[in-house]
Amino acid sequence: LQRNGNWVTEKDVTINGKTTSQFLASVILDNLPPRPFNIRMVRETADSTTDQLQNRTLWSSYTEIIDVKQCYPNTAIVGLQVDAEQFGGQQMTVNYHIRGRIIQVPSNYDPEKRTYSGIWDGSLKPAYSNNPAWCLWDMLTHPRYGMGKRLGAADVDKWALYAIGQYCDQTVPDGFGGTEPRMTFNAYLAQQ
């Protein structure tokens, strides 16, 4: 890293051992100078000149992590910092189970138990639900990503959706000796 015009060694990395695949190493540099700054990687031993030893070293990429509070409205964000040695120097794959959005559902509806209690007065409450009827209501009436700028709540028949929602929540055999809701909506929409 170049500090005050002079190159300074921030980290020494020793690579030894054998592998039949690419070896990845990560180096974390803290307290960087103000931007713009220069970074370089210098190998102290020469690259191999024989086909029997492949040890060419190259800079693959860098990531700058800016440690400040940022606002990401309407976005779910996950950050991980993992020691590459825990995974044998291999790139790791991370998967997430995304539950979904909090949407408007009937005020007398329990989305966890999928039950409706009493007579519905037409009011709504926020809750997680994968009931297709209430997901449709959300897509039709939400002003940011749905049709809410063109349709109002009065333009959608919520009473018909209430009956459809009850139908979707009826339990049916799941084929494995248990039961499941008749219909659920578990989609990940990334584009219009």
How far apart (Å, rounded) are the C-alpha atoms in residues 114 and 166? 8
Distance of CA 14 to the CA centre of its chain: 34
What is the pTM assigned to this prediction?
Answer: 0.59
Q: Angle between the 158-169 and 132-141 helix axes, to the nearest 10 degrees?
A: 150
The predicted model gives 164-192 an average pLDDT of 92
Could you give the percent of the chain with pLDDT greater than 70?
Answer: 99
Res. 192 pLDDT band, cuts 50 70 90: low
Q: Compare 105 and 42 and report the one with higher pLDDT.
A: 105
Contacts 24+ apart (CB under 8 A), 179-183: 181/114, 181/131, 183/131, 183/132
Read off the pLDDT of residues 56-94 as tens digits, 9 standing for 90 and up.
Answer: 788 888 887 777 787 888 777 888 888 878 888 788 888
Say if residue 173 is preceded by a cis peptide, omega within 30 of 0: no
The predicted pLDDT at position 131 comes to: 97
